[in-house]
Copies of this chain bind each other. A is one copy, B any other.
Amino acid sequence: MVVVMQEGATEDSVQNVINKLMDMGFDIHRSTGARHTVLGAVGAKVDFDIRDIELLEGVEEVLRITAPYKLASRHFRPEGTLVALDRGVTIGGEEVVVMAGPCSVESPGQIDSVAASVAASGARVLRGGAFKPRSSPYSFQGMGQPGLELMRRAAEKHNLCVVSEVMDHVQIPMMLDYVDMLQVGARNMQNYNLLRELGKVTKPVLLKRGISATIEELLLSAEYIMAGGNYNVVLCERGIRTFDTYLRNTLDIAAIPVIKKLSHLPIVVDPSHGTGRRDKVASMARASVAAGADGLLIEVHNDPEKALSDGAQSLFPEQFEQLMKELRMIAPAVGRRI
């Protein structure tokens, strides 16, 4: 932390700040300039509230030097992290991994049909929800465990891995039997009890960015999981909330290169939730690959107009097939393949 004192701050104010910093466990390095006294505070601690210093008498401004996360930081693993699922699928390497499937698992026929078509088009992971966080208490809330069973069966038949959302820490042990990766939804990005429990499992976690979370907050949530010992975290950009409401969310494509710089964790994009409309998904999927994403999470449904949830943002299988062709043309421009 660097503390800049106001011009003309009294020696008493300076000493008071120094004492407070020492109480907080920092070593102090003082330098007295022509106009400002600057205090450098060094220590191993990453958790402190800079407002506690900002409000002290005589303080002009305070800068935190170190990020509030350690394990999620690029410095921790400069070479980047590869997250391995089953069936030879690795996220964060040369291959851009496409995960596709319906918003919700609805029936054996539906999930098998979707799994067959996305596998044929080149997807490597089957996505689908069995527990659905819905903003209305009157909406379809998912099939639960039976949905997971259906998804697992369809995935194995078509040689796909499985990712599905966990809504509550009590669901974790049961879900481990069915999924290759546990997804944390945007609304649960700061459900710390859930994150803490996910730190204790060994399966990878797909952590979605909250709709109003900064990138630093996303990395802090990853840190919660990693602090428990589970380093297999994949981050996911899925749109943020802005003043512009023409689409459901504003997909923050620039988050891809920003996260690549700040963290070693892979970053994938969900253009389906990121736009909320089927006719905008393909362009945003292409943009994501062109910007360097490590993977995509795309909603595909065999009959979107009859889907029980989010049909409006699900692709028809033919649209997905066409999109995969376009993505295969783009990937080499960024040194990747699909």
Contact = CB atoms under 8 A, between A and B. Distances in A.
Interface string A257-278: 1100100000000000011111
A42 B33 contact: yes
A20 interface: yes
A233 to B, nearest CB: 13
Give the interface residue-count category, chain A.
Answer: 35 or more
Interface in A39-65: 40, 42, 45-47, 49, 51-52, 54-55, 60-61, 63, 65
A244 B253 contact: no
A280 B253 CA distance: 11
B46 A334 contact: no
A190 to B, nearest CB: 4
A145 interface: no
Contact of A220 (B33, B42, B136): B136
A127 B34 CA distance: 43
Interface of A: 2, 4, 20, 27, 29, 31, 33-36, 38, 40, 42, 45-47, 49, 51-52, 54-55, 60-61, 63, 65, 68-69, 133-139, 167-170, 187-188, 190-193, 195-196, 210-212, 214-217, 220-221, 223-224, 227, 240-247, 250-258, 261, 274-280, 283-284, 286-292, 305, 309-313, 326-327, 329-330, 332-334
